[in-house]
Chain A
Amino acid sequence: MKPLPDRLERLVSTLESLEREDRIEMLIEAAGQFTPVPERIARRPFAAEHRVPGCESEAYVWPEAGPGGTLSFHFAVENPQGISAMALSEILRSSLSGAPLEEIAAVPADVVYRIFGRELSMGKSLGLMGIVNMVRSAALQQLQAAAAKHASG
């Protein structure tokens, strides 16, 4: 199994080391830091292709090309009660933006259990995994586009 990108691994390890109450507190803090996608990237109504399938918190993901072929990530969570989706989005934004694409593409979706613990309902966990999968998919597409460009050049 490939290691998680450094910043994500550090965050996840910290969360895992905490007692439940402290872990929840840290996740709520992350949700509090969540900043919705800036208008220069997307405006409502958001395009359906950016919507995370299977997430009842109505989460959206946008990749933005950065220097050296890297990606940064932006998110929207339209359900005001979708606090877990906001927390996860902020964790992924802050820890994966600019990380090596190969590492982002290899992040396992079930990292949500390491982040939130095993107490997630199946519905909630699958919705959150959908957010991770959408980020992975963006990294994978960027890698494939780069490979295709390289092959044609």
Chain B
Amino acid sequence: MSKHIDERGYAKADVLVSTDWVAEHLQDPAIRLAESNEDPLLYSSNHIPGAVEIDWTRDLNDPVRRDYLGRAAFEKLMRRVGATRETTIVLYGDKNNWWAAYAFWLLQLFNHTNAKIMDGGRMKWINEKRPVARTVPRYPPSNYTAPERDDTQFRAFRDQTLKHLEQKLPMIDVRSPEEYRGERLHMPDYPNEGALRGGHIPGALSIPWARAVNQEDGTFKDAAELRKIYTEENKLRPGDDVVAYCRIGERSSHTWFVLRYLLGFSKVRNYDGSWTEWGNLVNVPVENPSAETRDEAAA
């Protein structure tokens, strides 16, 4: 069983809340619960009473370009869910909170720092047989005003990632070991999302996102266990300039959350272009141990 969040030694423990905490704040008007899933039917099938849905595809992505929503669309979204700049958005969702972490990361691009993630996500709440509802709540629209999206602090683009590589700065590949080694172009039991080349960005450390999570209930491991993975085994330091990537940026936003908030790393960016961009780029360095092994076998 996981320790109480305050006892886990996190650098910024206030960004993580337990299912107990959420249950105690269901009627709190300063809180807006928001569910963010990959499965488009899950929220409508049931959700935590009072929770709104923030859909990654429909709400957070630009409908035309591969990019996120801009300031006006973000304001519209937050007004729709009745949130103000002072509202604490508590995110949770399926897939061990991948999409919740993605939405949390996006909130930070608009400097909405009043945000938290529910530890263990949707599955933990359901497994604890806590109340669920099918009614979609309606909140009075707010007058939310957002700053322009700031991609400089937490987001890395292709050229910045290339520069990061050239400077030999730390980079984390959070995909499965098979994807990292180039044996697969996608995670096990997951479809291929269109990368032409397998492997990883040269020099990237392989630290699968799932290592940060307790498998039995989907909660985050405590700080000592996380430090063992990131700082002892992989020699990362909290002052390092780190870029994390995965396939489309959802798993790496989970790791970004772990490094920045649970371990207190000061400079972590999510390369959301990730392998679906890098694995299709012409003339960028790629390391593919699997291909090298095949070459040796052929020789």
Contact = CB atoms under 8 A, between A and B. Distances in A.
B57 interface: yes
The secondary structure that dominates the B interface is loop
A83 B45 CA distance: 8
B179 interface: no
Contacts of A130: 191
Contacts of B17: none
Contact of A120 (B40, B95, B193, B248): B40
Q: List the 9 shortest-distance A-B pairs measured between CB atoms, nearest first.
A: A126-B191, A54-B191, A83-B41, A24-B44, A119-B57, A28-B45, A84-B39, A84-B41, A81-B94
A123 B41 contact: no
Contact of A24 (B41, B126, B248): B41
Contacts of B39: 81-84, 124
Contacts of A27: 41
Given A81-B122, A121-B57, A56 B41 contact: no
Contacts of B55: 119
Contacts of A81: 39, 42, 94-95, 122-123
B3 interface: no
B261 interface: no
A31 B45 contact: yes
A63 to B, nearest CB: 22
Q: Which of A24, A119, A129 has the most CB of B within 10 A?
A: A119
A29 to B, nearest CB: 10
A124 B56 CA distance: 12
Interface residues of B, number: 24
Interface of B: 38-42, 44-45, 55-58, 94-95, 122-123, 126, 186, 189-194, 248
24 contacts: A25-B44, A28-B44, A31-B45, A54-B190, A54-B191, A58-B189, A81-B122, A82-B39, A83-B45, A84-B39, A84-B40, A87-B41, A116-B40, A119-B57, A119-B58, A121-B56, A122-B194, A122-B248, A123-B193, A123-B248, A126-B192, A126-B193, A129-B191, A130-B191
Interface in A105-128: 116-117, 119-124, 126-127
A55 interface: yes
A113 B189 CA distance: 21
Nearest to A52: B189
Interface residues of A, number: 28
A121 B58 CA distance: 10
Contacts of A82: 39
Contacts of A123: 38, 190-191, 193, 248
Given A56-B189, A58-B189, A119-B40, 10 more contacts: A24-B44, A28-B44, A54-B189, A54-B190, A87-B41, A119-B57, A121-B38, A121-B56, A123-B193, A124-B39
Interface in A35-91: 54-56, 58, 80-84, 87
B66 to A, nearest CB: 11
B42 A83 contact: yes
A17 B160 CA distance: 45
Contacts of A28: 41, 44-45
A16 B25 CA distance: 39
A42 to B, nearest CB: 19
A129 B58 CA distance: 20
A127 B191 contact: yes
B73 to A, nearest CB: 15
Interface in A1-50: 21, 24-25, 27-28, 31
B106 to A, nearest CB: 15
Contacts of A31: 41, 45
Given A83-B45, A121-B57, A55 B40 contact: no
